[in-house]
Amino acid sequence: MNPTSFEALQFPAPIQRALSERNYNSLTPIQAQALPPLLEGRDLLGCAQTGTGKTAAFSLPILDVLYDDPQNIRPRTARALVLTPTRELANQVGESLRTYGRYMDIYHALVYGGVGQGPQVSAMRRGVDILVACPGRLLDLVEQGHIDLSEVEFFVLDEVDRMLDMGFQKDVTRIVDMLPRERQSLFFSATMSKQIMSLAQTILRDPVTISIEPEKTTAEDVCQELCFLERSDKRSLLVQRLKEQGEGELSIVFARTKHGSDKLARFLNQRDVKAEAIHGNRSQAQRDRTLKRFRDGALPVLVATDVAARGVDVKDVTLVVNFDLPNEPEAYIHRIGRTGRAGETGAAVSFCSDEELEFLRAIEKLIQQTIPVSVDHKWHHAGLAERHARKLTGGGNRGAKKKSGRGSRRPQGRYRGRRQGRSKSSVKS
């Protein structure tokens, strides 16, 4: 029988304290099915979408191991490696690790491209407990001698289908070949094609297999609307829509990044729209104060990132604005589900500029419907709307993917059944 609460899993006190502070009580389906075998040291093959709670499903067993079996870390090494396809996802995982491990003596580092490598090299110089990385930059730093993967005990491969779509299969195979054979491995993908199953067979040993059906439908009580416009016009349309809200009506505006949400909140306040941002860089006390003001109606507009908004459950929200379309289509369903709650109706307005068309196509494919387009604003981009409409009636297939290479397999090892005979380490208070 699967457990139904985090408390039932008897995590160590520092982890339980962090979960309790975030009001994490009930387990999601994937957490209920994945956590027990992972805590026993089993490998796992999971089919699950973003937004189902899988980050906690793999983060908590890693933290449990680090607490149960503290060790000195050699320079440039990591005890756990989480491989993600994008830096956005890497940042989300890093934020979750900070949340769940805030009362533990752990170190983690993020390694991805698009930014200078200097701080990443410095972070790895002393070694870390957990390394969250994207394949390209990780291989660069390995080849330069800044990272050593020979001591990884826990390996997580996340969003595998996206990895392959982005052309990372060879990189993933090279990374797997660098890992020790004796390790615990976890493999997550939203789909399970023959290619993905073949890759899983090279990575996992006697895995537990879990499949969680993705949520594909949007809330029936939410009126959806799509606005095509230039990115530079988004702020003007946002102010107009927020000022059309009635007295006492609450709105949530979704931005893709923490920095972006801060800038947007400042801009709205300059235009006499009272708003505050909520994201992972704000302290728990600050987030709690902001949420309380929002629930009480003293703050009409909340600007949020996806990660920070997971715990926002306010029944009086009448408008959700996707200022930035999410790059994970499942996030769209969760975002617009913040309105139209408890039998009430709500509206969800999504802004789409040229660089977000691919995100929009992925969203409409997932929800299996075309979002109605609004032309009732002076910033409507007719050309962009026409391009999207042509794409919907056209189509096209990606090229065939190459077959996977061999990876490492390892025998039953000392990382099996690690919940037996627990001994605890010191933690921060």
pLDDT along the chain (429 residues), means of 10: 83 94 85 94 86 86 94 96 88 90 94 92 96 96 98 94 84 96 91 85 93 66 93 97 93 92 96 91 78 91 77 79 90 84 82 95 90 95 93 53 36 43 36
The pLDDT of residue 217 is 59
Common-topology check for domains 7-205 and 222-393: yes
Q: Which of 424, 423, 421 shows the shortest CA–CA distance to 40?
A: 421
Q: Which of 90, 89, 103, 80 shows the shortest CA–CA distance to 149?
A: 80
Q: Residue 47: which H helix or E strand, with range?
A: strand 44-47
Query: 64: which residues sit within 8 A by CB, 6+ positions away?
Result: 11, 12, 15, 39, 419
The pLDDT of residue 423 is 38
Q: Which of 82, 44, 105 shows the shortest CA–CA distance to 158?
A: 82
Question: Per the structure block, which two tokens stand in for 78?
Answer: 């990591």
DSSP code, position 186: E
Looking at domain 222-393, does it have CATH number 3.40.50.1000? no
pTM, whole model, 2 decimals? 0.60
E strands, 48-195, where? 78-83, 108-111, 128-133, 154-157, 184-189
How far is it, in rounded angstroms, from Cα 176 to Cα 200? 11
Residue 109 forms beta bridges with which residues?
131
The pLDDT of residue 218 is 61
Query: 154: which residues sit within 8 A by CB, 6+ positions away?
Result: 61, 62, 65, 79, 80, 81, 183, 184, 185, 186, 415
The CATH class of the 7-205 domain is alpha beta
Strand order in the sheet with 222-228: 222-228, 346-352, 317-322, 250-254, 301-304, 275-278
Q: Where are the domains of the chain?
A: 7-205, 222-393
CB 83 within 8 Å of CB 89: no
